[in-house]
Amino acid sequence: MSFDLQKMLESKRALRRNLAARPVAEKLRMLDALRERELAIRRNAAPPDSNYLREEPPPCRTKSQ
């Protein structure tokens, strides 16, 4: 695997042009497929009682009034 930055950037540009040229209906089908894959990954990633994917946000520090 080579790390030719110019080649990688041009590949990204070409992919973006290709995606932008597709019809909206096809883009929406692609989005639905991605959502289905994400849900499948979430279901299989961890048991429901596992906490390793959950993270509590840090407490919000506000000035008392």
CA 54, CA 52: separation in Å to the nearest integer?
A: 6
pLDDT at 51 over 60: no
Average pLDDT for residues 3-8, to the nearest whole number? 92
Q: What is the CA radius of gyration of the chain?
A: 20
Total count of domains within the chain: 1
Residue 65 counted as domain residue? no
Residue 32 counted as domain residue? yes
Residue 63 counted as domain residue? no
Residue 55 counted as domain residue? no
Residue-level pLDDT at 19: 95
| Domain range enclosing 19 | 8-45
